[in-house]
Structure 1
Amino acid sequence: MIICAGNNETFDFATPIGVGLIESAINLTRLCLFDRPEFLLFVGSAGSYGEHKIFDIIESKTASNIELGFLTNDAYSPLDNVISTNINQTKIDVIVNSSNYISTNKELTKKFLNLGIGIENMEFFAVLKVAQEFDIPAGGVFCVTNYTNKNAHEDFLKNHKKAKEILALHTKKRVKELTSK
């Protein structure tokens, strides 16, 4: 099953599950309860912490849920905040951080790179957590729309349409490759 966030980030080949951690977790859980998929593939946009360029495509099976307060030692969590469905230990995934907030502090978000985290997407951690709960293999494909700086929202809006087109072409090509094997 191919899924996406929703609102203005929908695709003709994907089922929308909602925006952010909560909506996506609730709606994806509902989907899994009533029609359990064999595999979950999330497609969506992402913000780069600096190493990945605008319109880069990133495939990952690893997500984190780390808030900015963690980076400044102003918060901690007793919960596991990194999850992976990557059983291929020979390839290290780009970790996708998820939060209900879009990061806009370029200097602070560079600290994510030191933790091995490369991009952010609001829903992916919830997707992998639900997949883990239902023991469903899962992964994500992302297209970078912006950097995590003060212009994040404007750049996202400016680049979103093209990123969706790139993401759709890439995803359809990859699905075709995988299903023809």
Structure 2
Amino acid sequence: MIICAGNNETFDFALPMGVGLIETAMNLTRLCLFDKPEFLLFVGSAGSYGDKKIFDIVESKSAANIELAFLNSDAYTPLDNVVSTNTETNIKDIIVNSSNYVSTNEELTKKFLNFGVGIENMEFFSVLRVAQEFDIPAGGVFCITNYTNKNAHEDFLKNHARAKGLLNEHVKKRIKELTKK
């Protein structure tokens, strides 16, 4: 099953789950309880912490929920804040960080790169955490719309339509490749 966030980030091949960590967790849990999918693929936009460029396509099976305060040792969590459905030990995933906030502090967010966290998307941690709970293989495909800086929102708005088009092409191409096997 292919899913996406919703609102202005929808695709004709994906079922919207909601925006942010909470809506996604609630709606995806409800879906899994009543009609458990065999596989989950999340498709969406993402912001780059610096290494990935605008309109790059990133595939990942690893997500984190790390708040900015952690990067300056201003907070800690007793919760497991990284989850992965990647079972291939020879493949190093880019970790996708999720928060209900979009980061705009470019200098601070570059610190994420030291932890292998390369991009951010508001929903992906919830997707993988729910998938883990229901023992469902899952992954995500993202298109970079912005960097995590003071222009994040404006760049997201400027680049969102093209990013959705690139995601649309990429996912449909991958579906064709998989159905040929």
Shorter-chain TM band: over 0.9
> d(CA) in 1 for partners of 2:29 and 2:87?
23
Report the AA paired with residue 60 of structure 1: S
> d(CA) in 1 for partners of 2:173 and 2:87?
23
Query: Which residue pairs with 2:31 in the alignment?
Result: 31
Query: Which residue pairs with 2:117 in the alignment?
Result: 117
Query: Which residue pairs with 1:179 in the alignment?
Result: 179
Query: Which residue pairs with 1:164 in the alignment?
Result: 164
Structure 2 residue 13 is the aligned partner of structure 1 residue 13: yes
> d(CA) in 2 for partners of 1:163 and 1:143?
6
3-state SS of paired residue (1:21): helix
Query: How many Å apart are 1:41 and its aligned residue?
Result: 0.1
Q: Structure 2 length as normaliser, TM-score?
A: 0.99
Query: Which residue pairs with 2:44 in the alignment?
Result: 44
Query: How many Å apart are 1:179 and its aligned residue?
Result: 2.1
3-state SS of paired residue (1:58): strand
> d(CA) in 2 for partners of 1:39 and 1:12?
18
1:1-181 map, 5 Å: 1-181=1-181
> d(CA) in 2 for partners of 1:163 and 1:134?
30
Report the AA paired with residue 121 of structure 1: N
Report the AA paired with residue 117 of structure 2: I
Query: How many Å apart are 1:34 and its aligned residue?
Result: 1.0
Q: Could you report, residue by residue, the CA deviation over 1:57-108 in whole angstroms, capped at 9, with x for unpaired residues?
A: 0000000000000001110000001000000111100000000000000000
Report the AA paired with residue 37 of structure 2: P
Where in structure 1 do 4 or more consecutive aligned residues deviate above 4 Å? none
**How many residues get paired?**
181
Structure 1: stretches of 5+ with no match in the other structure = none
Q: Could you report, residue by residue, the CA deviation over 1:15-49 in whole angstroms, capped at 9, with x for unpaired residues?
A: 00000000000000011111110000000000000
Percent of aligned pairs with the same amino acid: 79
> d(CA) in 2 for partners of 1:8 and 1:25?
19
> d(CA) in 1 for partners of 2:167 and 2:24?
20
Q: Structure 1 length as normaliser, TM-score?
A: 0.99
